[in-house]
Each structure stands twice: as C-alpha cells, then as structure tokens.
Amino acid sequence: MIRTTRCVLIYTAVAALGTGAACSGGRPATTPSAGPSAAAAATTRPTPEPPGSAAPIAVPYAPAVDPAAFSATVDNPFFPLRPGMRWQYRSATKDGVETTVVTVTGKTRTIAGFTCVEVRDTVRVDGALKEDTLDWYAQDRTGAVWYFGEDTKEYENGKVSSTEGSWVTGEHGAQPGITMPAQPMPGDRYRQEYYRGHAEDVAEVLSIAERAKVPAGSYDGMVMTKETTPLEPAVLERKYYARGIGIVLTVDVAAGGVRDELVAR
C-alpha cells in the first residue's frame, strides 16, 4: 500500500549519510520545464520508491547502499543480534515435529565490503537434521537491518540434498534486502533478498500492535509482517516480532495455519 502523506522512515544508506530530501506530501518538488531536454529527462526518471522502503519492490532492483553506513552491530529493537543470543522454535508439521535453533555465532563475514554478523539456523524434524543455514546481516545508520546472504544446505538421510536458495550479495547479480525496518509502519513493503530466480522474498508490515501467546511467554506491541515470494506464489507466512527479542511466532498460512512458536531463548 503506497502512502503519499508520510515521510520515508527507512532511508537508504546514502540518505543516512546526509543526502536525503524532506518530505512534501510524498512527491518530489518540481521546477518549471527548462525546455524539451528537461521534459525528456522527466519522462526517463525511474519510478519513485514506495514510501517507507529503501529496498523497493520495483524492477530493476538496485538499492543505494554504502558500506561506510553499515555496521555488524545489530541492535534494532525488533531484530537484535547480539553475539550469543539463541532462540528455539517448535512446530507440528505434516512431516513431524520440527525444531529450529537460531544462534548468533559471534563471527563476522565481509561481503562486498559490508561487515556482517553471522547467524546459524538449524532445523530438525523428529530429531533428524533437515536444514543447516548460515545467514549474514548488517545494520545501517538509521537502524534498519539488512540481509546480505545465506549459505543453506538441505539434508536427506544425513546427506546434503540441495543448496538451492543460497546467495551472497555481489555474486551473480545478488543484492541485499531489508529484514527489519528502522521504524516499521503498516504499509511498508520491501524486498528481503534478491537473487533473481533463486531468492526473491518480499515483506509487508501489516501491524505494529499485535499480541501473541507462545510457550516462551505472552507478548504485545509486536510488529506483524506478511511474507511472500513470486517464486512460490502459494507461499504465505505471517511473522510476529517482539521488542527486544525478534521473531516469536511464524504462522504458515499456506499450510493451514501451522504455528512455529518460540519455546526457549
């Protein structure tokens, strides 16, 4: 949902360095035409980014990011990644009980000039390893958390069966996306990742006042997002982010409402 009456809340890294413009009803100010050349330039301008997004859904996708405006210190209140943090999730799926453990490893990796914090995500079904993934994130000066890549391995019978979905910013045209806006607001839409044909997740903020109860506790004032991908149109998830914790609940709408709940941290 494009809103033209609110200033952009998630600035690009370039804006974070002081090149941003003031909000004027959501549209840039215009000046009188200086002749045919000015009119021609106006017709070739790229489509403005949707309000609230530095990682626009539009194609071609080329977010304005500068390594100098980023840090591996990720302290966004709705997606904190302090070294040693750990989350355990559980869900009842058609294949069995799925347990996911997410850990901030304390390691960093430099990707295309960006220093990123490393997060490990392991998934088991009835105790058998299903997936093992390393993810890399960095935070810009505005507080938005960006996703710079993943190394994912799926397992069958103890052996790697697929690495589909792996991508790294700067390789084969892959670009970073936003995991959590600096100041999320309903209607914000943004790419979470972009590796054409392999990783094209998109998110939209639906609410910033949600409540949920999971085994780890009861939470309110949460950010709720809707997450989809054009690569799998049937996929639809809703994620709930609690202040100071991060994700506490994922609801797989496409799978009939299966809940992946935070059980320990």
Q: pTM for this structure?
A: 0.80
Q: What is the pLDDT of residue 7?
A: 33
Compute mean pLDDT per 10 residues along the chain, 265 residues long, and list them. 34 37 35 39 39 76 94 98 98 95 97 98 97 98 97 96 96 97 95 95 97 97 97 96 98 94 97
| pLDDT for position 25 | 36
Share of the chain above pLDDT 70, in %: 80
Q: How far is it, in rounded angstroms, from Cα 209 to Cα 227? A: 18
> What is the model's pLDDT at position 206?
98
What is the pLDDT at residue 33? 40
Q: What is the pLDDT of residue 45?
A: 41
Per-residue model confidence (pLDDT) at position 53: 59
pLDDT value for 58: 83
* pLDDT recorded at residue 37: 40
Residues 9-60 have pLDDT tens digits of 333 333 333 333 333 333 333 333 444 443 333 333 434 444 445 899 888 9
Give the per-residue pLDDT at 70. Answer: 97
Q: Tokens 């050349």 sit at which residue?
A: 37
